[in-house]
Structures are given as C-alpha cells and as structure tokens.
Structure 1
Amino acid sequence: MATNLYFTQGAKGEQDLYEDIVIESLKMFGQDIYYLPRDIVNEDRILGEDVPSRFNSAYKVEMYIENVEGFDGEGDLFTKFGVEIRDQATFVISKRRWNHTIKRLDNEIQAVRPHEGDLLYVPFSKKIFEIMFVEHEQPFYQLKNLPTFKLRCELFDYNDEDFDTSVVDIDQVEKKGYTANLTLADSADTGFIVGNTLTQTLSTGVIISGEIVDYNDSSNVLSVANVGADDGNFHLFTAAGIVKSEDSAEQTLTRTISAINETIAQVNAQNDFFETLTDFLDFSESNPFGDPS
C-alpha cells in the first residue's frame, strides 16, 4: 500500500520553516568562525598532497560547536617527544548560509560544500582546525531535505603554509614558523612592503624567494617567511648577497645582506614549562611498575 495521500513529508513550506529555525538556532547558540579555503599551489599527484598551500581568504560565518563539554580527541598528551595537543571538534553550518556567505558569485570559492583540507579559525580559543570529513546526511532526511553540514575537524599542524587572509590573528601563524631575519646594509633604497616577494640569486644561478612578513626601517631588519627556491631544493639566504624587491611604486629595491638570524619555531617549546616543575613526575620511585613492597 502506498503512503497516505493526505499527509506530505516534503512540503516546500515546511522545509523552508525547518531551515529557518536551524539558521536562527545557529545564530543564537553558535560562534563566529572563519572559513579558510585552501588554494592548491603544486599538488603531488603521487602522494596526493600539496605542501606549499596558500590560504588567501577568510569568510566569517556562524557555526555551532557540538562539543559542549570541551574539545574531543585525545587531548594533551605528555610523550617522550614532548606535549602533543590532539583536540578534535565537530562544527555545524547551515547549507543556506554556506551558499549565501561563502559560495557566492563574487567569492573565489565555488564549491558546493566545504572541502576536506580547508581550515576553520576559532577566535575565542585562537585555534585553527583542519576539516577531515564533511558529513552531509545528518539529520537524515527528516523532511526530505538536508539543511546542514557537519564538519569533523582536528587541530591544524602548521607546515609552512602561506596565510594572506587580511585577518591579523590568522596571518600571524606564519610568523611563528621558520623566518629569516635579514639585517640589511645601509642604503638609500627603503620602503620594503610587507607581503611582497624578496629574491636573491645565488652564485649557482638558483633564485631564492620568500615573502616579506615584517620590516623595520630604523633597524634595517627584514623578516622573510615561506622561503623556497626555483630548483625545488632547500637553500638559505647568504650573507653579503644582494636581495631585491619592489616598493609601492613598483620600483626595484636592491640591498645587501650584512647579517642573518634564523628563527625556527621549536615544536617542543611548550616543554619548558615542565622543566620548572619538581612534582610533575615522581622520580624517587625506583620501580614504579613492580611490587610496591
């Protein structure tokens, strides 16, 4: 026997009302989250990854965090390699709000849904999460429609990606990785612009390039991140070498490096906290896993 003709489960009016209630709930109980689409620069088709990724935009949209008692995952682990933070979270976003806020004709992203590998920045905790899986069938066709996406995410591990989103708190991430602090010799050429590219040609003909992330005209110190070379190998800027960039008038600036100070973020820098503790671990027990007698 067919379903009852006098009861409909997929009426357009009911679907719209249901979606309106979902959006209103997200606006009331959700958080403002920044969505960062990943730009593929040079995909490795063998391993299926893109190490030199770029994140050039950020879109603020309301999302609901399902983890009401804290982030999921294994939490903070104290291992022999240091403290590892393995937080996980699930974010809920409305499909209609996705289409209106992110998938727009005037935006660079035209995807029909969030993509795995894209990032979410949570302002209240100042953490960046990477989307690992997008669930699009929960709730499961209650009114024969699917009004939300569920984004299952893990804490993002920075790997020298380029951030140019115009959101200061997000773009600061790349300054915490590897940066080359170049002390320049005195010259009349000043006016380096943050965000422009700095290049140096080695004696072998290899061209090193990096993004200017900071410049202090008074101290002649210029900081460069996202350093790479045109031969695909790892190279460093060399002292006494000449670097070039452009100013606001697109005129070429030429300066000589007098000193180099590299800054490398230590992945176990948080362990300094534990070195000052005397009661975190009890080392007086000679056999903690044996018979206490």
Structure 2
Amino acid sequence: MVDLSDLLADLADESAQLDALVSPLPPAGWARPTPAPGWSVAHQIAHLAWTDHVALLAATDAAAFYETVTTAPDPARLVDDGAEQFLAPPPELLARWRAGRAALGDALAAVPAGEKLPWYGTRMSATSMATARIMETWAHGEDVADTLGVVRPATDRLRHIAHLGVRTLGHGFAAHGREVPTVPVRVELAAPSGDTWSWGPADAADRVTGPAQDFCLLVTQRRHRADLALVATGPVADEWLDIAQAFAGPPGAGREAGAGATVAGSEVRA
C-alpha cells in the first residue's frame, strides 16, 4: 500500500520536471504542435491545469464537480473544451497550472482515509486520484518532450503508472467491447533503478515482461507496441498489449507503429 504523502511528493516532482521543460519556452515554443492533433504545448499544459481543477472540485465540492458534467454543452468534447477553457498567455497559464496543482495536493492530503471521490464514470480514493494525476502528468509530459525533442530520464515514479496500467487490464478490454478475461496475467518489469517490479501470480501462463518505461508508454498509448521491447506470452497477454489503456473513457486510437516520438502519431488526448 503506497502512502498518500509519498504519492503526492512524486506528483509534485513529476509536475516540476515538466514545469522545467515548459517554463523557459518562448511564446513560439508554447504554440508548437504536439502528437495530439490540434493540440499545442499550451493545450497540453491547459489540459493538465483543467484536470487538476476538476479533480480539486471532486476533492472539495462534489456538487460543483457534478455540475461540470451536467452543464457540459457536448460531453464528447469535455476534454477538448476544458483545455480550450484554460488556455491563456504562457505566463498566466503557467501560474494557473502551478497554483492549481498545489491546491490539489493540499486538498488530496486532507481527504479522510477511506473516502471515495467522484470522478467520470467512477469513484476513487485520494491515493487513486493522486496516482491518476501522476499518470496524466507523465503522459502529457511525454507529448511535450517528444515535441521538443527531449529524452527525459526514466525514474522510479514510473511504478505508479505501471501499477495503474496493470490494474486497468479489464478496462482496456471493456473499453474495446471485448470480454474481460478471468485468467491471471503475470507482469514483470525492469525498473529504472535496476529492480524488478512484478504483479500477478508467479505461475501464471500469460505473462508480460520488459522495461517499465516501455510498459508505461504502452498503457498511456504514447507508443505502439511494435516500437517497444515488451514480450507477451499467452493469448490474453498478447491481446492486452494491443488494447491496454490506463486512462478512463472510450478507447484511444494510440500511435501508429513506427511513429515513435514524432508528432505524426494518432490521437492521444487521454
């Protein structure tokens, strides 16, 4: 069981790493297109600021959170509209994102143990919300890094994203309209620190092995499996790697094989 304070510290560190990438950018850098069609670097940060805002509402004012859902002009465009709503000149956007993520950290730290927060189509604990925020910050940070041609060092914060990726195996199948498998899958990943992270029964016939960073890129749909050093053994594991999705909502289109880190990839607005 991961301690909430440790999760929030890792979320702050993940946010700071991305902040360091975007804060020195000139206005033209904020306007550069990213792998998400129609989204600039500014859209990526605006999306994170908006998502932090609605997560803050979920943690502090459930009625206000639900109002964001019931009053949305087009629920299918909720994510895009949220990013557009939070767009602003870079200094203002940066200040808004910084203030919002700090407020969210404080709010999550104050959530009573065992309390479930409302979210889109589900409810989650403060630890799950913090884990989801780490995943989103890292994934959208990857989009920004790809755009800027920066290779970010892998850290053991990836464990949170990998854990979420494993836990959402069933969601990936369900989101694609497929029967959720009942057989167990063993996942063994090589951590950046050199450790091995594992989930599932050691004797499971279906297995996924490879670098933790590659697994995180897969489950956030930032790379196609053909471009990653992941090995699937067994039919369920093999099918899972085609449809894995750690984020909520309908199935994402992911990236095309060979697209790599270029901005020519498919829709990745998770």
- For the pair shown, the structure with the greater C-alpha radius of gyration is 1
Q: Which has the higher contact order (CA 8 A, sep 6+)?
A: 2
Whose helix fraction is larger, Structure 1's or Structure 2's? Answer: 2
TM-score scaled to structure 1, two decimals? 0.28
TM-score scaled to structure 2, two decimals? 0.29
